A and B are shown apart, each in its own frame.
Chain A
Amino acid sequence: MDTTQITDAPPPTPQPTPAEQKRNARGATRPGDRIFLGLSRGSGILLLVIMAAIAVFLTYRASLALSKNHGNFLTTFEWNTNVTPPSFGIAVLAYGTVISSIIAMVLAVPVAVAIALFLTHYAPRRLAGPIAYVVDLLAAVPSIVYGLWGALILVPHMTGLFGWLNDFFGWTGVFSWDQGAPRSLLTVGILLAVMILPIITNVSREVFRQVPQMHEEAALALGATRWEVIRMAVLPFGRSGVISASMLGLGRALGETMAVATVLSPDFLIHGSLLNPGGGTFAQNIASKFSEATEFGRDALIASGLVLFVITLLVNGAARMIIARRKEYSGANA
């Protein structure tokens, strides 16, 4: 085009500034869009404000207790907040929380993945629907019900298993048993496994159902058996989803309160054996002590709650790192 023509042309209409263009591209010029944008942005900000407020409140209350603690908060094996000078530490709680959650994950994740694979790839449709429905129902059972079931049914029935473990694996120390009531971390872990099974199963099932048909057909056409299709196409595709599902379950296991408090007979010692009663978890300790705690005792419990919060954050961060590390191999860019 000739440059003279441009100068001869009528003056151009004022161009929108880059910021205006950006707003236009988002479609936020009409009233409806503007209202919706305001609402969604407002809720987002509100959420952050609430989170920050909770964090500030908890940190403040926790610091009040920690400044007067005479024991080491991380290593003390006791929780005495009603004596002067007070001495309390989270070592036993951290151990109990982590160990019972690990037991729950080890037991629940393989079973949940197996159930999800069965529902999506093996079960006839007539059977898969009702089973999936029952699993959904299990996820909705309140935790106190699981707690009662654990205390009344599971605990009495654990003696057989504990005796067997003691006979064959007692020499390891981890599975030795002094014939006490089986209200131990292992029983808690088993109960937690039952409780987190439905949610891990449900999320894994959704993930496995989204495996593109074409990946499964690719494996089939190479002469893969049904199990090989699962190994080549389904599991790798669902890997990050299963990790996310497990994290959801782990989050529930870490924070589970009532069921643990109903089953465990707590003390403030770390036991070498998983079978002997004793130990405790953060949530169980807060639940059982909170109602009778003094103002100072509550602050101390809040401090322990903050530690649980940090542990949950660390676990989630680790899971995200695992997922991100193999991003370029994920199914998302297929």
Chain B
Amino acid sequence: MAKRIDVSGLTAYYGSHKAIEDISMTVEPRTVTAFIGPSGCGKSTFLRTLNRMHEVTSGGRVEGKVLLDDEDLYGPGVDPVSVRREVGMVFQRPNPFPTMSIFDNVAAGLRLNGNVKKSELGDIVEKSLKGANLWNEVKDRLNKPGSGLSGGQQQRLCIARAIAVEPKVLLMDEPCSALDPISTLAIEDLIGELKERFTIVIVTHNMQQAARVSDRTAFFNLAAVGQPGKLIEIDDTERIFSNPSVQATEDYISGRFG
């Protein structure tokens, strides 16, 4: 059951350094939203505020509101652990647990929640691996270590692990930047299928990728190094890449800077 994300006035700090400032946006359920922008503009930081991973970094601190439907993720008494069970995340470098088999990797999140019967576990693992388009490649070696797969397979394994717990939102932090073009294509196809079920936010440095996979695109930028990153504009992807309303966006997309 995908949910809407509603961010208002969000500012994030690393210690005393302000990394992003006053960001507001809405992400509709069952859409793909791409974050683009130059390095250091805070798009990854912003992504990590959406599942409260930002505060894991020492000195990480957030002001503002993030609503998931009507629930404020930063409200008093909200447990970051339960937030992360609703908002899944896929990282830049594939990070399956090296000590676990493929099966255990996918089951890891389910076992955390603790209320899954053993008999159901196998079904959910199979469903998740099918959902990540990985089932046919690994069904004969579910007990082999996940670290023995190729980079692209590992990343799809991580996606299977993330969707196995049925999150409401799936965050992806440059999921293809460590992959070859064929693996990238496989992940992009997968994103198209996953948006039927999840709200997806993806950070990417690859503008063709943003244009290919996303419905909406947000452009982030920073005035200068050391300045906080800001949201310049967010609009339908088609519009951002054809006729953006801010000059800086057009400059970035057409390769004039960044």
Contacts and interface: CB of A to CB of B under 8 A. Distances in A.
B59 to A, nearest CB: 11
Interface string A232-248: 11001101000000000
Contacts of B93: 214
Given A214-B93, A215-B95, A225-B81, 17 more contacts: A215-B98, A218-B91, A219-B108, A221-B53, A221-B88, A222-B85, A222-B112, A223-B84, A223-B113, A224-B112, A232-B108, A236-B97, A239-B99, A328-B148, A330-B99, A331-B99, A333-B147
A228 B95 contact: no
Given A214-B91, A328-B148, A329-B145, A222 B98 contact: no
B187 to A, nearest CB: 17
Contacts of A223: 81-85, 109, 112-113, 165
A233 B81 contact: no
B168 to A, nearest CB: 12
The A interface is mostly helix, strand or loop, or mixed, namely: helix
Of B51, B88, B109, most A-chain CB atoms within 10 Å = B109
A236 B100 contact: yes
A230 to B, nearest CB: 13
A155 interface: no
B98 A217 contact: no
Interface residues of B, number: 31
B162 interface: yes
Of B56, B85, B98, B158, most A-chain CB atoms within 10 Å = B98
B3 interface: no
B65 interface: no
A220 interface: yes
Contacts of B97: 215, 218-219, 232-233, 236
A220 B165 CA distance: 13
Interface in A288-334: 326, 328-331, 333-334
Contacts of A232: 97, 108, 112
Interface in B75-116: 81-85, 88-89, 91, 93, 95-101, 108-109, 112-113
A326 B147 CA distance: 13
A214 B88 CA distance: 15
Contacts of B89: 221
